Amino acid sequence: MTNDELYVSVDVETSGPIPGEYSLLSIGACLVAEPKTSIYLELQPDSTIHDPEAVAVSGLDLEKLKREGLAPQEAMRTLEQWLESSCPRGQKAVFVGLNAPFDWSFVNYYFHKYLGSNPFGYTAIDMKAYFMGASGCSWRETKSSHISAKLKPRSAPNHNALDDASFQAELFTLMLANRDER
């Protein structure tokens, strides 16, 4: 990491496979170097379309989210404000995710739809691709269970967006440490 970059681990839970048709239900984010600096948001669904399996995996209740979740615009503004307050002046927040193409696509879509721009910009670090390049493993060996077996993190994923973001932060820290040891 350079001094002008701030790695932010982000995980989401959704109601299905693609933004625009399915809803972003929860967002968890934390600073990779300081996972206790974190945010967790639950959103009101912005679509009635959902995949029952996707919703079951998250354990989130769509009816409860309709009543108690944040309106999507409010959630994205809250996330943007958290990023601004957590990111020292002169640093760029860099989105880090385990399967970042999926998580980033929802976050990017929601930022653009509800606020007009994405503070992360147009890129993200995909931990699976990073691990594949750093370790020389095959793509099928980039499952979180395989990466965990190699790097031995103390935490484990559980499909809560904040818990998973914290797990990812730990994994990415271990990946960076292994890189430095080479």
Q: Is 159 a catalytic residue?
A: yes
CB 98 within 8 A of CB 144: yes
Q: Which of 50, 112, 146, 159 is catalytic?
A: 159
Q: Identify the CA nearest to 7 among candidates 161, 120, 128, 159.
A: 120
Q: Give residues with Cβ within 8 angstroms of 91, minimum separation 6.
A: 3, 4, 5, 6
In angstroms, rounded to a whole number, what is the distance separating the alpha carbons of residues 49 and 22? 6
Two structure tokens written together for 31: 């600073």
CB 33 within 8 A of CB 1: yes
Catalytic residues: 159
